[in-house]
Amino acid sequence: MTQELAPTLRDQSAAPSAGWWRDAVIYQVYVRSFADSDGDGIGDLRGVRERLPHLADLGVDAVWLTPFYASPQADGGYDVADYRSVDPLFGELSDADDLVREAHRLGLRVIVDIVPNHTSDQHAWFRAAVDGGPDAPERALYHFRPGRGPDGDLPPNDWESVFGGPAWTRTDAGDWYLHLFAPEQPDLNWEHPAVREEFESILRFWLDLGVDGFRIDVAHGMVKAEGLPDIGLREQAKMIGAQVLPFFDQDGVHEIHRSWRLLLDSYEGQRIGVAEAWAPTSERLALYVRPDELHQAFNFQFLTCAWDAAAMRQVIDSSLAATASVGAPTTWVLSNHDVVRHTTRYGGGAQGLRRARAAALLTLALPGSAYLYQGEELGLPEVADLPDGVRQDPAFFRGDGQDGLRDGCRVPIPWSGTAAPYGFGPGASWLPQPAAWAGLSVEAQTGDPRSMLELYRSALALRKELSGLGDGGMEWLPAPEGVLVFSRPGVVCTLNTLAEEVELPVPGRPVLSSGALEFGGGAVRLPGETCVWWAV
């Protein structure tokens, strides 16, 4: 693409449109595992910039970059020590600037992660809070409390860390501080005006640099219930997303998102906020995307849905109904850096791959926006057998919270060649890549019409061509049990979730299929676990 022909983003947003995010396909780059430019084995911003043509060619609309800020990396960068600087592992500020500019030149928008629930324990505020002793004014920026019991040696309440163990750590001064995640991630006190002011200033910093929006980490967590009440139950990590907890999905968080929306809207070019929010129902999740709040929220109900037609239909209906009730688009997500890759969740091996191919066509045919996680376009499986010595997920070392196995979806992706690191960078990658990944590289799959990569490329190209896809409505059509059939303007999508083939009347002209079709007598034999798009 020459510079003259490249679409410019400002032109697109100037066109009459309901909002670019409403049907955007957004690709999640887990920066440390995408591409390494300097050979330290860790992906970096320059690496991302050099590989942007892959994303433009894939056909996505935007890129979401996981945190690349100054951080001791106690939780893969979700422990931020300085929100306005780039960690030397990932480059420098000018690299972020170059990356945003190059992405825009290629017609890609850029969303960055913002981590407002907690800072790193190396953040200047927390250092001052601890080093300054009990009277340090910075203590008010976090949640410091005296312990319980006669000697104060019991935590202030019974809250558990998402990563396992108590959500409190005792200081040398004898009191305790709250951390819903690792001890290196102290929770901020959002009742304090300085916290609110600081984050508005941080948002402005990145908006001024030109980013198109923010993925808001733990967007459901900033506000805690008054008095930090006990929960009275163990295994609280398992309740996240299943019920409102005194530390998650409190109504008070919405006021923060409302103020951020005002700030986003004060910038030209449709800057967006997307919530990582775990809410117990689609209805509660929809509260985050009311017209004066954020633009999108990840739809984890869909991610966690079983491979079952009735269950999928129910989740699709409730997601669409809930977001429609507030006028927001739905998002569809199958994988991210916190969950087992979906080819593996769907059964692994040939079956997992077949289902993942079908699921890709399903999600890209549904109304709304879709998020892709790096490597799903290659059909990468979870890497289950990483040696303990290379693992870095903090939950792995704490036990009994989350399963602690989030490294298996974070293995650096294969680009080319027949041996590790498969073009990831000049040196060995921070997590070892399986030998079997030679056949899964971008290079190996390019041009092979049966490959996952070419399926995604075709689907994303067609999604742009067929105007009925993307934002808008859908209608369910009659279908046998185990099969989903729905129509969008000009398109019908058929998904057979069963293992065995089914016969259906031909609904139109097949334009894309995740498996081979056989026709005869006005009917089509839809193989098991296959999805097809038909033009009508």
44 binds ligand GLC (CB under 6 A): no
Considering only the stretches 32-40, 198-206, 451-459, 463-471, report the one whose residues sit in contact with Mg ion under the rule CB under 5 A.
32-40
Q: Tally the residues of the chain.
A: 536
Least distance to ligand GLC from the beta carbon of 35, Å? 20
**Per-residue CA distances from 228 to 148, 156, 174, 236, 250 (Å):** 13, 9, 19, 15, 12
* DSSP run (H or E) holding 176: strand 176-178
Choose which of 68, 144, 181, 300 interacts with ligand GLC (CB under 6 A): 181
Least distance to ligand GLC from the beta carbon of 143, Å? 16
Choose among ligand GLC, Mg ion, none what residue 36 binds, the Cβ cut-off being 5 to 8 Å by kind: Mg ion
115 binds ligand GLC (CB under 6 A): yes
Q: Is 361 helix (H, G, I), strand (E, B) or coil?
A: helix
Choose among Mg ion, ligand GLC, none what residue 38 binds, the Cβ cut-off being 5 to 8 Å by kind: Mg ion
403 binds ligand GLC (CB under 6 A): no
Q: Which of 23, 217, 293, 382 is catalytic?
A: 217
DSSP classification of residue 303: H
Q: Any bridge partners for residue 169, and if so which? A: 177
When the beta carbons of 61 and 276 are compared against ligand GLC, the nearer one is 276
98 binds ligand GLC (CB under 6 A): no
**Per-residue CA distances from 174 to 133, 181, 187, 266 (Å):** 10, 21, 18, 45
Choose among Mg ion, ligand GLC, none what residue 50 binds, the Cβ cut-off being 5 to 8 Å by kind: none
170 CB neighbour count, 10 Å cutoff: 16
Q: Which residue has the tokens 């509660």?
A: 284
Question: How far is residue 312's CA from residue 306's CA, in Å, rounded to a whole number?
Answer: 7
The alpha helices in 163-299, defined as continuous H runs, are 193-209, 253-265, 282-286
Give the pairing of strands 296-297 and 176-178.
unpaired
Question: How far is residue 83's CA from residue 520's CA, in Å, rounded to a whole number?
Answer: 61
Least distance to ligand GLC from the beta carbon of 162, Å? 7
Choose which of 23, 44, 61, 75 interacts with ligand GLC (CB under 6 A): 75
187 alpha-carbon distance from chain centroid: 21
Closest CB to Mg ion belongs to which residue? 44
**Per-residue CA distances from 451 to 25, 228, 296, 441 (Å):** 20, 52, 31, 10
When the beta carbons of 43 and 375 are compared against Mg ion, the nearer one is 43
376 included as an active-site residue: no
217 binds ligand GLC (CB under 6 A): yes
50 binds Mg ion (CB under 5 A): no
191 included as an active-site residue: no
- Write the binding mask 315 to 354 for ligand GLC: x where contact by CB under 6 A, - elsewhere: ----------------------xx----------------
Choose among Mg ion, ligand GLC, none what residue 44 binds, the Cβ cut-off being 5 to 8 Å by kind: Mg ion
Q: Is residue 262 packed enough to be buried (19+ CB in 10 Å), middle (13-18) or exposed (0-12)?
A: exposed
Nearest to residue 175, comparing CAs of 150, 206, 154, 194?
154
Choose which of 26, 178, 218, 358 interacts with ligand GLC (CB under 6 A): 218
Nearest to residue 371, comparing CAs of 20, 25, 19, 22?
25
Residue type, 536: V
Q: Which of 184, 276, 293, 407 is catalytic?
A: 276
Binding site for Mg ion (CB under 5 A): 36, 38, 40, 42, 44
The site for ligand GLC (CB under 6 A) is made up of 75, 78, 115, 181, 217-218, 276, 337-338
Active site positions, annotated: 217, 276
